[in-house]
A and B are shown apart, each in its own frame.
Chain A
């Protein structure tokens, strides 16, 4: 589908963008917290296994936890210092998870221990995937799915197109925008690695139209020998969702329950791609990531390169928050997760920290009215589900019927239906609950 000559998907919503305050602020290095708490399960899959002892001295970049099996990645020390302890710590899910507490030594520098580099020339796809896993790289867009699993082509499958996702459709967030402007060469190097690993023929960098400077900057520097193009997409949420991008750019539909590779496409976040290009030539691991810290309650908004494991409390103290701070989201306000504790840490999947004051949070305390059958949610759902009908079934707890007859499991919780609902029905939350119930019933 095209809109004003630009490729896009059908349905979707237009939330306020709120990106203007941080889009022009360059990425700045964030200081080390007095104690970094690095959770061992920052990614989808099995938690990493710690390989350090209490009191051990570690160097920045040193591997402090190894991957536990294939669907797992190692962790690297974000700073030089001493391991205080390995103990449970709160996580964004509310669950207590094991974490490594690291005390950076005073005057810890940005110098990094480097490992075995993975040269672009002469490395086999397996070696590149191995290097991606060893670097601890996961999807930095938010899902934190181990990238080496995503790029591995299954038996009999093949990929022809690689989509580099720089859409960043989530309001408030500008990390991918800054990465595209400031780490262009890293992005291109990353694309070379990913193309070599996956065997895809061409790459498309997808950028939303609200980042014309990033698109122009990328186009200017396009290397002649690289089969890559830049596509500008209209501003619409959730344009950055994998299935929406594949539909818009390649005109292919990923069937429910299937993966992009089933339609010969791969989709990698632009920040993930930049990290691959930045780390692999040096054999380094992820120690930090770019995080947009913004929202009405934040004083010094900006894009910061934050060490992994920085406690949320320290982060907010450093940037300064107003006394009326009431809600803190990790990730954007549409799909991000509300933090229930300030003792959780910035992890590999945290693309932004958005803090709201009590007055704005108050506006969401609206009374829930009955469904008036306006159908706005039906027009908003990018997966062409019927959120109104699903909402009624969720109220009656007919979870199995929602999954069987109304394709509940195709919902990826983008939040468009809740966003447009004039009756303020918490649709997405009830779908999440229903999905959890269905998974529990099917597993048991």
Chain B
């Protein structure tokens, strides 16, 4: 009995010792020299792996920081203090990056846009968009089922009572998850300074569109006339040339529907003087069909 126990203990003990020795040797022999600053810098980063900096995650970004490829300001998630800590640790500049945010190119909440059919199925914009486009009268418009709200890791997107996502510019890190997830491709990442904004993606033209959505762009072209060189009509939609001076509200003032807006940092989207006020708060009735 004792002999059997001893054999077992001995055999297992010997095996343990051999393998442990192997591990120790491997650890010494196969050791890869790594910059000790890497772990420190990674700890200083928010470690959310959002990808807004353009790197796959926080560790590759930390490697790039140490390699002096980028400056800490590129991280949109950590605040100014966080940037300075990293900059001081690495002895580099903080690097001024322009604040970028996600912008939605649709203003057709359920109080201004009609539904043509009632969608009944999986509560997801991506699923709804595959069933006859989702039932909204405007094919290009926001479906309002909130895939972007779910996708946002930073709680920067909230669906408002009209079923439109509202982006909190302070919380938005421009990671682009909402851009990926929107089946109607309504989100895009823009510098926060881009305040002149076309809040419509409808490729249709003419006042007939107002049947479907009261804030649709009817392609009248007034913004193009008022902002020569700044706004051009392309495929029935105004396109703002942000390389020109775009700090003017002039192009929005004569818009008859309020499809082109000025996004105020505090007050949110501002419509021009010619746009009729939106009085409805609740959902619009569906079309007769």
Known: A337-B132, A436-B130. Contact between A429 and B121, CB under 8 A?
yes
Chain A positions within 8 Å of B116 at CB level: 340-341
A320 at interface, CB cutoff 8 A: no
Least CB distance from B184 to A in Å reads 11
Chain B positions within 8 Å of A322 at CB level: none
Query: Of B36-44, B63-71, B133-141, which stretch is located at the interface?
Result: B133-141
Flag if A93 contacts B133 (CB, 8 Å).
yes
Least CB distance from B133 to A in Å reads 2
Main secondary structure of the interface of B (DSSP, over half): loop
Interface residues as binary, B114-154 with A (CB distance below 8 Å gives 1, 0 otherwise): 00110111101011011111110001000000000000000
Flag if A338 contacts B130 (CB, 8 Å).
no
Flag if B204 contacts A88 (CB, 8 Å).
yes
* Interchain CA distance A436-B130 in the complex, whole Å: 8
For window 230-270 of chain B, which residues contact chain A by CB distance below 8 Å? none
Contact residues on A (Cβ < 8 Å of other chain), bracket = 20 to 34
Least CB distance from A285 to B in Å reads 28
* Interchain CA distance A339-B135 in the complex, whole Å: 9
* Interchain CA distance A313-B288 in the complex, whole Å: 12
Flag if B289 contacts A96 (CB, 8 Å).
no
* Interchain CA distance A334-B124 in the complex, whole Å: 21
* Residue from A90, A338, A433, A437 within 8 A of B139 (CB atoms): A90
Chain B positions within 8 Å of A313 at CB level: 289
Flag if B127 contacts A432 (CB, 8 Å).
yes
B189 at interface, CB cutoff 8 A: no
Chain A positions within 8 Å of B117 at CB level: 338-341
Chain B positions within 8 Å of A437 at CB level: 126
Interface residues as binary, A217-247 with B (CB distance below 8 Å gives 1, 0 otherwise): 0000000000000000000000000000000
* Interchain CA distance A232-B122 in the complex, whole Å: 38
* Residue from B124, B133, B183, B204 within 8 A of A340 (CB atoms): B133
B203 at interface, CB cutoff 8 A: yes
* Interchain CA distance A39-B122 in the complex, whole Å: 29
Flag if A338 contacts B131 (CB, 8 Å).
yes
Flag if B127 contacts A338 (CB, 8 Å).
no
Closest chain B residue to A88 by CB distance?
A: B204
Chain B positions within 8 Å of A96 at CB level: 139, 203-204
Interface residues as binary, A421-444 with B (CB distance below 8 Å gives 1, 0 otherwise): 000001001101100110000000
Closest chain A residue to B131 by CB distance?
A: A338
Interface residues as binary, A51-94 with B (CB distance below 8 Å gives 1, 0 otherwise): 00000000000000000000000000000000000001010111
* Residue from A94, A365, A430, A432 within 8 A of B132 (CB atoms): A94
Known: A340-B117, A429-B127. Contact between A95 and B133, CB under 8 A?
yes
Least CB distance from B160 to A in Å reads 24
Least CB distance from B127 to A in Å reads 4
* Residue from A338, A342, A343, A426 within 8 A of B122 (CB atoms): A426
* Residue from B120, B204, B289 within 8 A of A342 (CB atoms): B289
Chain B CB within 10 Å — which of A88, A313, A364, A433 has the most? A433
Least CB distance from A249 to B in Å reads 32
Least CB distance from B204 to A in Å reads 7
Known: A90-B139, A313-B289, A341-B289. Contact between A429 and B204, CB under 8 A?
no
Known: A96-B203, A340-B117, A341-B289. Contact between A436 and B135, CB under 8 A?
no
Chain B positions within 8 Å of A433 at CB level: 122, 124, 126-127, 130
Closest chain B residue to A342 by CB distance?
A: B289
Closest chain B residue to A426 by CB distance?
A: B122
* Interchain CA distance A92-B131 in the complex, whole Å: 9
Known: A88-B204, A94-B139, A340-B117. Contact between A436 and B126, CB under 8 A?
yes
Flag if A430 contacts B122 (CB, 8 Å).
yes
* Interchain CA distance A282-B225 in the complex, whole Å: 55
Chain B positions within 8 Å of A430 at CB level: 122, 127
Least CB distance from B140 to A in Å reads 8
Known: A88-B204, A96-B204, A426-B121. Contact between A340 and B127, CB under 8 A?
no
* Interchain CA distance A432-B129 in the complex, whole Å: 11
Closest chain A residue to B132 by CB distance?
A: A340
Flag if B120 contacts A365 (CB, 8 Å).
yes
* Interchain CA distance A93-B135 in the complex, whole Å: 10
For window 197-223 of chain B, which residues contact chain A by CB distance below 8 Å? 203-204
Chain B CB within 10 Å — which of A338, A339, A364 has the most? A338
Chain A positions within 8 Å of B204 at CB level: 88, 96
* Interchain CA distance A436-B133 in the complex, whole Å: 13
* Interchain CA distance A336-B163 in the complex, whole Å: 29
* Interchain CA distance A436-B204 in the complex, whole Å: 25
* Interchain CA distance A437-B129 in the complex, whole Å: 12
Chain A positions within 8 Å of B131 at CB level: 94, 337-338, 340, 429
Chain A positions within 8 Å of B121 at CB level: 426, 429
* Interchain CA distance A338-B126 in the complex, whole Å: 16
* Interchain CA distance A340-B117 in the complex, whole Å: 5
Interface residues as binary, A327-361 with B (CB distance below 8 Å gives 1, 0 otherwise): 00000000001111111000000000000000000
Flag if B127 contacts A95 (CB, 8 Å).
no
* Interchain CA distance A429-B120 in the complex, whole Å: 11
Interface residues as binary, A101-136 with B (CB distance below 8 Å gives 1, 0 otherwise): 000000000000000000000000000000000000
Flag if B203 contacts A340 (CB, 8 Å).
no
Least CB distance from B164 to A in Å reads 19
* Interchain CA distance A426-B121 in the complex, whole Å: 7
Least CB distance from B146 to A in Å reads 14
Closest chain A residue to B133 by CB distance?
A: A94
* Residue from B124, B126, B132, B134 within 8 A of A339 (CB atoms): B132
Closest chain A residue to B289 by CB distance?
A: A342
Chain B positions within 8 Å of A436 at CB level: 126, 130, 183
* Interchain CA distance A429-B125 in the complex, whole Å: 12
Least CB distance from A87 to B in Å reads 10
Chain A positions within 8 Å of B124 at CB level: 433
Known A94-B132, A338-B131, A433-B130; further 12 A-B contacts with Cβ < 8 A: A88-B203, A90-B139, A92-B132, A94-B129, A94-B134, A95-B139, A338-B117, A340-B135, A343-B289, A364-B120, A429-B130, A436-B126
The 4 closest A-B pairs by CB, nearest first: A94-B133, A340-B132, A340-B117, A94-B132
24 contacts across the A-B interface (CB closer than 8 A): A90-B139, A92-B132, A93-B132, A93-B133, A94-B132, A94-B134, A94-B139, A313-B289, A337-B131, A338-B117, A339-B117, A340-B117, A340-B132, A340-B133, A340-B135, A341-B132, A342-B289, A365-B120, A429-B121, A429-B122, A430-B122, A432-B127, A433-B122, A433-B127
